[in-house]
Structure 1
């Protein structure tokens, strides 16, 4: 499980047991930060009632949500 160390501190929602961003704006801001850090395009995707980050890392599709106020890989819902 990959966890980014910066605290998220944004409103979140739980959907199918996954903690996601509540708003598209917050998710987009974090997508930009992650894209810069990983040097790869990262997008945001609406999943149920929340927003997740989506990208491709090392040839693998990856989704990120939130775990304990940190960004963490999640299973795509």
Structure 2
């Protein structure tokens, strides 16, 4: 099963219309899962009141948050 289809049951916050991880620890766990899926390093970044997953994928800086209990790539 792809990590993008797995439910995210951790607490979330909404900041500027984006649903993000509430805690750094939960974001870190999902960063590890995402890193295995996309086969590149993934870090966590504080955005306002929440945490997003960040990586450089195909030469593009990307961030992921949450949408409907699934990971979602955030628009720049």
Structure 1: distance between partners of 2:41 and 2:20: 19
Alignment RMSD, CA only?
Answer: 1.2
TM-score (norm 1): 0.92
Cα displacement string for residues 22-59 of structure 1 (whole angstroms, at most 9, x for unaligned residues): 00000000000000111100000000000000001111
Q: Counterpart in 1 of 2:71?
A: 71
* C-alpha distance in 2 between matches for 1:23 and 1:61: 22
TM-score, with structure 2 as normaliser: 0.93
* Structure 2 spans left out of the alignment, 5+ residues: none
